[in-house]
Structure 1
Amino acid sequence: MLWIMRFSGFFSAAMVMIVLSPSLQSFPPAEAIRSSHLDSYLPLPVQVSPSDNLSRFSFRKASAFRNADECGSVISESSGETSVCDPNLVHVAITLDVEYLRGSIAAVHSILQHSLCPESIFFHFLVSETNLETLVRSTFPHLKFKVYYFDPEIVRGLISTSVRQALEQPLNYARNYLADLLEPCVRRVIYLDSDLVVVDDISKLWTTSLGSRTIGAPEYCHANFSKYFTAGFWSERRFNGVFYGRKPCYFNTGVMVIDLAKWRRVGYTRRIERWMEIQKSERIYELGSLPPFLLVFAGHVAPIEHRWNQHGLGGDNVRGSCRDLHPGPVSLLHWSGSGKPWLRLDSKQPCPLDALWAPYDLYGLSH
């Protein structure tokens, strides 16, 4: 009798799980983008295909974001569609991959949510997997975007080992090739890392003056610039001479405004590749895709207000480390006048936070 009672209890529990399983597969998302919490608990096969990976994500369809009256329309009267070459568009480039997919979806939604003219924003998604377009289109059916395939083999042979394995992923280097990937008519683009949330109108960043510079980014001249390169680099004139006559400062490449027309004209992609080739044989730095940008552009950057990239709020900045600047609720480190800063997530493995600031919850990133 005892084994019959135990079996009956097990059978009842199994039936309850079967009945409840549909509701366990998807939780009500916040503002269209929260995916299931269960994927952090369910065991996954050691090797899964990209399509299997995507089956873990279930994003609610976003509502339509419309331009304010003063924005006008970017729809062609003849074709009824928006041309990527429309001079009234704001161009934003973001990478898409499975590991950072939640962050990318959150970034897109936050940009639209805070834009006065969301229909005037055109997204350029850089991917190394070919099955992400359907997911983006189902989540943002009204979004103006194009997907560009970046072949990892283009850069794989140029990548050297880094302090973090994540920095060795080929897609991290796709931004080096924006001028080649995007249409020639796209003369300017905002590049954004896929791990950020925007809380201000991106058109304000779009109108930033670059002057005679090719890129604009937040600079941090108080940082110890020498630490971004090895002792061997600083001991060799043939290397450190690149900074002669320049006043190089560290700048963060997670938010950049890029003059693609000038980039193409000068040929900066090849210059970056050349430094990566030197790194393979000489080991002149330890980080990933950042140092080549510093070598080519540091000292020749149009400075952008720091409020556009509020970074360093906690994360795995070096292999095996984790720093939490805010043991309690996240607060903003810097406000600029009445403007709202950007709040950026710097790490795939952030330190635990007891509470998250409002935009995290708004865009479905709450714990």
Structure 2
Amino acid sequence: MDIKIYVCHHKEGLIARNQYFEPIQVGRAISNHVLDGMIGDDTGDNISHKNREWCELTGLYWIWKNTNHDYVGLNHYRRYLNFAGGDRNSTLYIEKKVDITQYLSAGIEETCRQNPIVLSPLVNVHPTSSPGNTMTVYNHYCYNHYKKDLDIALSVIKNKAPEYYEFMIISMNLEMSVFGNIFVMRRDLFNEYCSFLFSVLFSVEEVLDTTHYDDYQKRVYGFLAERFLYAFVLKHKLLEKSNNIIHAGLIIYTDFEPEYNYKQIMAQISSRSVRKVAHPHAEDVHIVVSFDDGYIKQALVSIYSVIKNTSDASRLRFHVLHDEKLSPVTRDFLCNKFKEVKFDFYAIEDDYIFTVYPHNREHINRNTYYRLFMHECLPQSVKRLIYMDLDTLVCDDIITLWNMDMDGKTLAGCNDEGGVSQSRRLFGLNWNKSYINAGVLLFNREQAVRKYKNLRFLYLESFLKNMKNLTLQDQDIINIAYKDDIKILPLRWNVGSRVYSSSELEAAYPKSVAAAAVHNPALIHFTGENKPWKPDAAHPMTELYLAYQAKAFAYQTPQTQSVESVA
């Protein structure tokens, strides 16, 4: 059988090639760099120059017009159909640079012989990271892209390809579909699909004005094509009552973990020296934290790291938000252990609001919402503050963070590791690049109260108006509340776990910024469940954390108890 699956590339990546797989550079006509070792979509009959708007479809068009295989398909350089029968309709993520071509090829001939159409997994339609909020294909498109574009396409189909219209509107009202324009088809079906697809899109292109679209929305033709594919499949499935159309599994190569020299990075961090400078008349640096007796060991490490790396620890004032699970014994222990800094404790009363806000992640407890009440607890004299989670390790002088200019914004923080994806989930078409991680915040409390009045109302409204798409609890609420009032801080002040590894989520910062933060972190945030104090910890900075932990536990005056006696 002559089966050829073309693998689209637009940048450097792992190349899969054998008798079935053929890499192709899409958009080569407008690329500044020719990728070696593969064909381009800029020869013969082609639309390569349209790639910025048409994405992988420029490759698909080239395949349609310039090849004649018995079976033909499209994969991406990071996404491959998996022909292993036991993995059907499932997705497997791979983080290593391994050649899986032979594995992928093992069942391909038998699968194609029995199935004239092989698709990627059929999945529920929902915003990114919000699987509970299923929606129709139509509503999902309108949430993420411009509604008028889809309506124009539907009108074109209704008038110029009416034989597909019923199946198009049926598919638009389903809550599941296929994505990525990934498939393999028998040649006659492939020709039929391409004839339908490109005739419609060329007609849409004649009337669609994308002049003012950003780079993401300009990819409109690729986005539309994703929705056309399943409508085409439904036509054959329903009219022909065909059961030999299958959903194969999908193998996704994530962005490979960078090859950093972590030993060297940790050694450089450990060797940093802080010049102790006395500032007898300098203002207090207000740091808000929250923990209970069950988290005292982690709190000690984080607080110790702040003190160790601060030029003037006498300026540090920790404001601890807590409930009854933080005992008086633990509070006294903390004050005695770190006598060079000041501690204030604020009991958070039981409030019905904690039953209203969601608790949808097992490793998150009620304390995470206490940061939404810090403006109410602290005295009026505290006009500016730093909020800090305690799964953190501070590696630089926190007074540097305290002194940062907020450029008139009420809130400042670092871009979240998946900030673009999370912003699109929350805001749809109105997303921006200011979705921050709420684990480290610089907060102008005085301005917030003056500008927004009742912050309790602000947070509750932000939650209730967006609750269907809210999955990251207080972090989502904060980003909604201050959406256009956030200053982005250098990433080194909140280096989360995904910065060190791969992720399907899209970050707002380039890889060069991530690499600089990894090499020179000011604050390492052990986000997610891969915590360095766990026995099976795999975080690359675990060794540094454990070194700080040992020093923090040993750091005591003659009056201080050992940590084991209270933990």
Q: Same fold (TM over 0.5)?
A: yes
Task: Give the whole-Å Cα distance in 2 for the aligned partners of 1:343 and 1:107.
Answer: 10
Does residue 346 of the first structure (1) align with residue 527 of the second (2)? yes
User: Residue type matched to 2:463 in 1?
Assistant: M
Does residue 335 of the first structure (1) align with residue 516 of the second (2)? yes
Q: Deviations for 1:203-261, whole angstroms, at most 9, x for unmatched residues?
A: 000011112210100125862135544xxx85xxxxx8xx5xx7353211111100010
CA gap of 1:161–1:361, structure 2 versus 1, over 3 A, is same
TM-score, normalised via structure 2 length: 0.41
Match of 2:278 among 49, 61, 71: 71
User: Residue type matched to 1:362 in 2?
Assistant: Y
Task: Give the whole-Å Cα distance in 2 for the aligned partners of 1:159 and 1:338.
Answer: 37
2:362 is aligned to 165
Secondary structure at the counterpart of residue 385 of structure 2: strand
1:364 is aligned to 550
CA gap of 1:226–1:304, structure 2 versus 1, over 3 A, is closer
The structure with the greater share of residues assigned to helix is 2
Task: Give the whole-Å Cα distance in 1 for the aligned partners of 2:300 and 2:386.
Answer: 17
Secondary structure at the counterpart of residue 166 of structure 1: coil
Does residue 136 of the first structure (1) align with residue 323 of the second (2)? no
Q: Which runs of 5+ in 1 are unaligned?
A: 1-66, 75-86, 235-239, 316-331
User: Residue type matched to 1:269 in 2?
Assistant: R
Structure with the bigger RCO (C-alpha within 8 Å, sep 6+) is 1
Does residue 104 of the first structure (1) align with residue 299 of the second (2)? yes
Task: Give the whole-Å Cα distance in 2 for the aligned partners of 1:121 and 1:284.
Answer: 38
Task: Give the whole-Å Cα distance in 2 for the aligned partners of 1:194 and 1:228.
Answer: 27
1:145 CA drift (Å):
1.0
Task: Give the whole-Å Cα distance in 1 for the aligned partners of 2:322 and 2:449.
Answer: 21
Secondary structure at the counterpart of residue 370 of structure 2: helix
Task: Give the whole-Å Cα distance in 2 for the aligned partners of 1:228 and 1:102.
Answer: 35
| Contact map agreement 1:225 1:248 (CA 8 A) in 2 | no
TM alignment of 1:169-208, pairs within 5 A: 169-208=365-404
C-alpha RMSD of the superposition: 3.4
Task: Give the whole-Å Cα distance in 1 for the aligned partners of 2:475 and 2:539.
Answer: 31
Match of 2:290 among 84, 95, 98: 95
1:290 CA drift (Å):
1.4
TM-score, normalised via structure 1 length: 0.62
Task: Give the whole-Å Cα distance in 2 for the aligned partners of 1:179 and 1:354.
Answer: 34
Match of 1:311 among 481, 496, 504: 496
1:251 is aligned to 436
| Contact map agreement 2:495 2:518 (CA 8 A) in 1 | no
My pick for the range that moved more, 346-355 or 210-219, is 346-355
Secondary structure at the counterpart of residue 272 of structure 1: helix
| Contact map agreement 1:196 1:344 (CA 8 A) in 2 | yes
Does residue 212 of the first structure (1) align with residue 399 of the second (2)? no
Task: Give the whole-Å Cα distance in 1 for the aligned partners of 2:344 and 2:433.
Answer: 35
Count of matched residue positions in the alignment of Structure 1 and Structure 2: 258
The structure with the greater share of residues assigned to strand is 2
Task: Give the whole-Å Cα distance in 2 for the aligned partners of 1:276 and 1:154.
Answer: 15
Task: Give the whole-Å Cα distance in 1 for the aligned partners of 2:371 and 2:334.
Answer: 20
1:47 is aligned to none
Kindly name which structure, 1 or 2, has the bigger radius of gyration based on alpha carbons: 2
Does residue 113 of the first structure (1) align with residue 303 of the second (2)? no
Q: Deviations for 1:307-359, whole angstroms, at most 9, x for unmatched residues?
A: 001102599xxxxxxxxxxxxxxxx9633599543111114553633873334
| Contact map agreement 2:315 2:341 (CA 8 A) in 1 | no
Match of 1:223 among 417, 420, 428: 420
User: Residue type matched to 2:394 in 1?
Assistant: V
1:102 CA drift (Å):
1.5
Task: Give the whole-Å Cα distance in 2 for the aligned partners of 1:294 and 1:112.
Answer: 29
Secondary structure at the counterpart of residue 216 of structure 1: strand
CA gap of 1:313–1:109, structure 2 versus 1, over 3 A, is farther
TM alignment of 1:288-299, pairs within 5 A: 288-299=473-484
Q: Which runs of 5+ in 2 are unaligned?
A: 1-273, 501-512, 553-567
| Contact map agreement 2:423 2:432 (CA 8 A) in 1 | no
| Contact map agreement 1:228 1:286 (CA 8 A) in 2 | no
Q: Percent identity?
A: 16
